A and B are shown apart, each in its own frame.
Chain A
Amino acid sequence: MALGLDEAGEALWRRVAGAIARGLDAPLPTAERDALILDVFAWQRRRSPVIERVVRAAGAPPRATTLDAVTGVPTDAFKTARIACFDEVATARVFKTSGTTREVRGEHAFADLSLYVDAAVAMGRRWLLPEPHYRFILLAEDEVAAPHSSLTFMLARFAERWHVASSGDPWMVRGGKLDVDRARAALAEASRGDVPVALLGATFAFVHLADALAGGERYRLPPRSVAMPTGGFKGRSRELPEEELFALIGDRFGLDRAAVVQEYGMTELSSQAYEAGAPGHYVSPPWMVVTAVDAETLSPLPDGERGILRVIDLANVGSCVAIQTADLGATHPGGFRVFGRAAGATPRGCARAMDALLAGDDG
């Protein structure tokens, strides 16, 4: 394993790996976890001048002594600079945010993906794939076609562990297009069997598939089947409210709302949170801490108060442990809610050009 870290970084990596290896049921005591977060954050600030500049620009104190003082690196920083604490030559994989060819894409580099896999599998097993085997139908491109997609990477690792190989190639997107005929055949065959189906992939691909089945074609997937649309519409399909999407999935595939699981993840993170307990409520793994912060001051907000979400993810030991998202949300005991991207009401009117320019689009 070539982590490309310094000695202190390797020691921290081992501590983080130990914390994740404890799984979801025997986590590190909170005080130990928080101490580990503070150690990782302090080391990352020493190791990466970029991270230090960014968090100081956001008003971080010279040294964080509590989690409240751990300032997140905004996700947009991943679009302009390399946010990593390992030597560049050690880079094993780079995940990129989605976007049009004209948009600047954020990049999250990894020297080692074992923490990512351990974190994803632990949470996936608990909240998405509790059965020993599934027939996977993946509405996404495979790793050869999409080597920079973190979603594809995660789905591939899930497929390695859970997919019944005899049911064939699970990837239903080829050359950027959903192969509706193959998806139909897979759905039909799966519906005749009793192996639960894991229908997972990009939200817009779910819409494309559901629309292709609009002529009355319906499937009843076997009991214990699950669906996970994730990643949003990204302007690649018609957009519809969440509940309509779930209703559409229920109608086409015979899955009730409880069988449709939502995940909260992003390219800049290494771990995912999952919807659990109640619709729209997410739980995160013990090595992740989600806080709603005031959008202007970045001060943590009490439970129930809406702010922008700051996510601390120990599995990001090689990049940046604290990420400041642009997602509006609120915490509650045991989890958090997400209300979508923080949108503003401030008049831009005639100056709206800047919004397009910031998105890299002024053609």
Chain B
Amino acid sequence: MADRDRARAVASAVRALSRGDARARVLDVLARDGDLSGPMAAWALDATAARYTERAAEVCAERADLEGRDVGVILSASVATAPLRAVALPCLRGARRVVVRPSRRRGAFARLVAFGFASAGLPVAIAEEDDPAAFVDAARRRGVDRIVAYGDDETVARLAASLPEGVELEGYGHGFGVAIVTREAASSEEAIAGVARDVAHYDQLGCLSPQLVFVEGPAAPVAAALHRELDTLDATLPRGPLDVGLASRIQQWRGACAAIAEDFHRGKTHAVACLATPQFRGSPGGRNVCVVPVASLDDVVELLRPHARHLTNVGVAGARERVAELFAVALPFGPRRVVDAGAMQDPPLDGPEDKRPPTRR
């Protein structure tokens, strides 16, 4: 299949999944796979599908670096829409055959994607093997020579150590994002609303989601504004259901943060802890976030430095270019994406979502 034909087929398959008869079923599956509310599932599908224009797909297809290869894709339980890009990319890159092993726990959307792509004439199939090791064995027997795996770092490392000779690995491990509000935007409600959208999208459970918010200067007004914006968003993009483990982790996080917070804002489904001193304090997800004051962006760099290899994405309210320039120099192994606040969950179709280089073997 030529580059342009592959691009057209992918764009057409995505259109078919996001519109018409399939849409209701896809939305239902996305909500269940991702523990998302109905409106959030709809937003996720529409925002994701919008990236699959024929032109964007063509640019990806021109890379054609998997031409003639048989590729196995191992998916993890991640944000609900992630399987779409994970399956689309090897197709666009020219793979002769793509065999997909969906997540055991959250695999329904991946199955719909594979079926939809196959219906559009793309060479995609679902593996019968559930266990990753069995999948790799079977894939090898069927001639697969490249495994693209998504999961946490430990899973990717285990896979790398166990792959048979002759099979290459392209592994994508775990990560997280942060948001930064620079001085220029500290009083901009519009900019803070962008941060709130980034926190709310996918209920803060994706690797591109901001897990904390740094504020250049006083944090309290930003924390209060973020709380208000999250309250507003709860009406239009309500949070999905919590399982008992996540709910419990959130209770523990709230207790730990409230004990040291200058201000603690508790919404119907979210919480914003305004800390008094610069520090790195992660989040359990589910729209719970610390707002951390820093004197300058250099402080942010120092706080992020120990975690730079896992930093995927930075959303900036304010001086994005200033942040991008500083991070490019100070955190060379840090984030590949530095975007405007509100766009953290809208990565262009230009490679893997977080654009970090994969683990290769």
Q: Report which A residues bind B (CB closer than 8 A).
A: 50, 53-54, 56-59, 73-77, 79-81, 83, 295-296, 298, 306-308, 324, 326, 328, 342-354, 357-358, 362-363
Interface flag for B283 (CB, 8 Å): yes
Known A-B contacts A80-B257, A347-B79, A349-B76; A358 and B244 likewise in contact (beta carbons under 8 Å) = no
Contact indicator A353/B176 (Cβ below 8 Å): yes
CA distance A47 to B79 in the complex (A): 44
Whole-angstrom distance between the Cβ of B213 and the nearest chain A Cβ? 14
Name the B residues within 8 Å of A59 (CB-CB): 266
Contact indicator B255/A347 (Cβ below 8 Å): no
Chosen A-B contacts, 27 in total, with CB atoms closer than 8 Å, are A54-B255, A76-B252, A76-B256, A295-B244, A298-B251, A307-B244, A342-B248, A344-B248, A344-B249, A347-B76, A347-B80, A348-B205, A349-B103, A349-B152, A349-B174, A350-B78, A350-B150, A350-B175, A350-B206, A351-B78, A351-B209, A354-B176, A354-B211, A357-B176, A357-B307, A358-B282, A358-B284
Contact indicator B258/A77 (Cβ below 8 Å): yes
Contact indicator A58/B174 (Cβ below 8 Å): no
Q: Mark B322-361, 1 if CB is under 8 A from A, else 0.
A: 0000000000000000000000000000000110000000
CA distance A344 to B245 in the complex (A): 4
- The list of the 8 closest CB pairs from A to B, nearest first, reads A344-B245, A74-B255, A349-B78, A57-B258, A350-B207, A295-B247, A81-B259, A347-B77
**Most central of A58, A75, A344, A345 by chain B CB within 10 Å:** A344
Whole-angstrom distance between the Cβ of A84 and the nearest chain B Cβ? 12
Whole-angstrom distance between the Cβ of A360 and the nearest chain B Cβ? 10
Q: Mark B201-215, 1 if CB is under 8 A from A, else 0.
A: 000011101010000
Contact indicator B244/A344 (Cβ below 8 Å): yes
Known A-B contacts A346-B35, A351-B206, A358-B284; A58 and B106 likewise in contact (beta carbons under 8 Å) = no
Interface flag for B243 (CB, 8 Å): yes
Known A-B contacts A77-B256, A345-B105, A358-B282; A351 and B207 likewise in contact (beta carbons under 8 Å) = yes
Contact indicator B242/A347 (Cβ below 8 Å): no
Name the B residues within 8 Å of A77 (CB-CB): 255-256, 258-259
Whole-angstrom distance between the Cβ of A8 and the nearest chain B Cβ? 23
Q: Select which of A346, A352, A353 is within 8 A of B246 by beta carbon.
A: A346
CA distance A72 to B205 in the complex (A): 26
Whole-angstrom distance between the Cβ of B209 and the nearest chain A Cβ? 6
Nearest residue (CB) in B for A106 is B256
Name the A residues within 8 Å of B117 (CB-CB): none
Known A-B contacts A347-B106, A351-B207; A80 and B259 likewise in contact (beta carbons under 8 Å) = yes
Contact indicator A351/B266 (Cβ below 8 Å): no
Known A-B contacts A54-B259, A353-B176; A346 and B205 likewise in contact (beta carbons under 8 Å) = yes
Contact indicator B254/A296 (Cβ below 8 Å): no
Name the A residues within 8 Å of B34 (CB-CB): 347
Whole-angstrom distance between the Cβ of A316 and the nearest chain B Cβ? 15
Q: Select which of A80, A306, A354 is within 8 A of B285 by beta carbon.
A: A354
CA distance A362 to B174 in the complex (A): 12
Q: Report which B residues bind A (CB closer than 8 A).
A: 33-35, 76-80, 82, 103, 105-106, 150-152, 172-176, 205-207, 209, 211, 242-261, 264, 266, 271, 280, 282-285, 306-307, 310, 353-354
Contact indicator A351/B176 (Cβ below 8 Å): yes
Name the B residues within 8 Å of A295 (CB-CB): 242, 244-245, 247-248, 251
Whole-angstrom distance between the Cβ of A331 and the nearest chain B Cβ? 16
Name the B residues within 8 Å of A57 (CB-CB): 254-255, 257-258, 261, 264, 266, 271
CA distance A344 to B152 in the complex (A): 16
Name the B residues within 8 Å of A326 (CB-CB): 248-249, 251-252
Q: Select which of B174, B244, B247, B310 is within 8 A of A306 by beta carbon.
A: B244
CA distance A59 to B247 in the complex (A): 14
CA distance A347 to B31 in the complex (A): 12
Nearest residue (CB) in B for A51 is B259
Name the B residues within 8 Å of A81 (CB-CB): 259-260
Known A-B contacts A344-B244, A354-B176; A324 and B255 likewise in contact (beta carbons under 8 Å) = yes
Contact indicator A349/B77 (Cβ below 8 Å): yes
Contact indicator A296/B105 (Cβ below 8 Å): no
Contact indicator A347/B78 (Cβ below 8 Å): yes
Known A-B contacts A54-B258, A59-B266, A362-B307; A350 and B79 likewise in contact (beta carbons under 8 Å) = yes
CA distance A59 to B34 in the complex (A): 27
Contact indicator A349/B285 (Cβ below 8 Å): no
CA distance A344 to B264 in the complex (A): 25
Whole-angstrom distance between the Cβ of B185 and the nearest chain A Cβ? 25
CA distance A53 to B271 in the complex (A): 13
Whole-angstrom distance between the Cβ of A88 and the nearest chain B Cβ? 15
**Most central of B172, B257, B258 by chain A CB within 10 Å:** B258
Name the A residues within 8 Å of B172 (CB-CB): 350
Known A-B contacts A76-B253, A76-B255, A347-B105; A362 and B150 likewise in contact (beta carbons under 8 Å) = no
Q: Select which of B106, B250, B285 is within 8 A of A351 by beta carbon.
A: B285
Whole-angstrom distance between the Cβ of B214 and the nearest chain A Cβ? 15
Q: Select which of B79, B242, B248, B282 is within 8 A of A349 by beta carbon.
A: B79
Name the A residues within 8 Å of B82 (CB-CB): 349-350
Question: Beyond A348-B78, A353-B176, A354-B285: 4 further Cβ-contacts under 8 Å?
Answer: A57-B266, A80-B257, A349-B76, A354-B282
**Most central of B106, B244, B261, B354 by chain A CB within 10 Å:** B244
**Most central of B207, B247, B260, B310 by chain A CB within 10 Å:** B247
Whole-angstrom distance between the Cβ of A79 and the nearest chain B Cβ? 6
Whole-angstrom distance between the Cβ of B337 and the nearest chain A Cβ? 14
Name the B residues within 8 Å of A363 (CB-CB): 306
**Most central of A74, A295, A351 by chain B CB within 10 Å:** A351
Q: Select which of B251, B254, B310 is within 8 A of A362 by beta carbon.
A: B310
Whole-angstrom distance between the Cβ of A310 and the nearest chain B Cβ? 10
CA distance A109 to B186 in the complex (A): 40
Name the A residues within 8 Å of B247 (CB-CB): 295-296, 308, 342, 344
Name the B residues within 8 Å of A308 (CB-CB): 244, 247-248, 251
CA distance A81 to B79 in the complex (A): 33
Nearest residue (CB) in B for A358 is B282
Whole-angstrom distance between the Cβ of A139 and the nearest chain B Cβ? 29
Whole-angstrom distance between the Cβ of A354 and the nearest chain B Cβ? 5
